[in-house]
Amino acid sequence: KIFQGINTLKPEKSTVICDESGKNLSSIPTDLLQNVTKLNLKNNKITLKHNDKDILIRLPNLTELYLNENMITLLYNNSFCNLTKLVNLDISNNCINTVHQAAFAGLYQLLVLNLSYNRITQLDSNVFSSLINLRVLNLQNNLLESFHIKPSFKLTTITLDGNPWNCSCSLLDLQIWLTASNVTMENENNTMCTFPNIKQKFSIKTATIQLVDCEMGKLSSETTIPSTYVIKHQSTVFLTALTSNITGNNGTHAEFPVLGKSWTFLMGVLGFVLSTTLLIFTAIKCPTWYQHLMSYRHRRLEENDPEMFEQEFSADMSSFPAGSDINNEDPIVIFDKTFEPEEDGFIEDKYIDTYVTEQS
């Protein structure tokens, strides 16, 4: 009975350790055992170029990889794509300044990632999208001023001190995430703002960043000069996540900046622009309208101006073609009598009556 059940016990998976640290290596050795599970390449001159990536592909059983204190400057896409069992990755104390978006693709089991003591200036939030099991992230002592992070990023521990954080609108997403999530920020008291100067003594988690100012600044930048470099803020998404996660154990709510009425400001700007445009248009068009109005004037005929009628009558008669049945010797009678208007307001033409009588 003592030995019953022994056959049901499964032996623990063996750990194969390979230590190649401090050997002044410029690339990863090609003669490594394929079943190695823990590889230490610390303190060498490895740059992690394409040939090193090809060697790592042959080591699918790796669970721990230490590349700290090397000469890596750039993390290319798919640098660790075949290491699906990797749990711990240490790339600290290098000269990394750029991390491609798919640099950590394929590391589905990764729990711990150490990127401390590098020269990283910015990180796309999609860099960590494939690290669905990541729990510990160390970004200590880099050159980060802001870090846009997705609400779905579920860490338990994060280290951010030693960076020149700019506690302005660009850091608002990170601040909301740090407050709303259950993540533990290591060295919180030393994770201070560097910019602006008035906030240098404040923690990035507690520094005051007014959401109203951020919305106003975003609105003014969109209505003035368009920029080629657009920073995509996701504050709305974070506020949604914050609403669902803000309650504590006692049902109390943390204090956050109140959302301002940006639409009121927008309507004010639009009203000002429209009214100014209307005033300018009116000032330009008024002289033209006035000149056109003054040129269109009605005037009653002068009743005591016979010469005007005679001139007009002569001009009208001269335009008629000469008829063959009219004798040139016929006398032309000119009446000098002034026309007097009748009571009905019409002018009686005596010449027409006389001319008709003579013809008859």
What CATH number is attached to the domain comprising 69? 3.80.10.10
pLDDT value at residue 269? 86
In a domain, 253, yes or no: no
Model pLDDT, residue 302: 55
Per-residue pLDDT at 253: 42
Helical spans, DSSP H, in 18-133: 50-56
**Residue 301's pLDDT is what?**
54
Please give the tally of structural domains in the chain: 1
Which of these, 161, 159, 99, lies nearest to 130 by C-alpha position?
99
- Determine the pLDDT at residue 231: 38
Residue 226 pLDDT: 44
Q: Which domain holds residue 239?
A: 17-211+229-245
> Does any domain span residue 234?
yes
Facing residues of 184 across strands?
157
Is residue 259 in some structural domain? no
> Who's near 174: CB < 8 A, 6+ residues apart?
146, 147, 148, 149, 204
Residues in Cβ contact with 199 at an 8 Å cutoff, skipping those fewer than 6 apart:
167, 193, 207, 208
How much of the chain is in helix, strand and coil states, percent to nearest 5?
Answer: 30, 10, 60
Whether 29 maps to a domain, the answer reads yes
Question: Is residue 162 in a domain?
Answer: yes
- φ, ψ at 165 (rounded to 5°): -65, 135
Within-domain flag for 55: yes
pLDDT at residue 117, as a whole number:
98
Classify residue 129: in a domain, yes or no: yes
Spatial strand order of the sheet with 64-66 comes to: 17-19, 38-40, 64-66, 88-90, 112-114, 136-138, 157-159, 184-186
Assess if residue 237 is contained within a domain: yes
Both tokens of residue 152? 């779905």
Q: Which stretches of the chain score pLDDT less than 50?
A: 1-12, 222-259, 320, 323-324, 326
Question: How far is it, in rounded angstroms, from Cα 111 to Cα 282?
Answer: 69
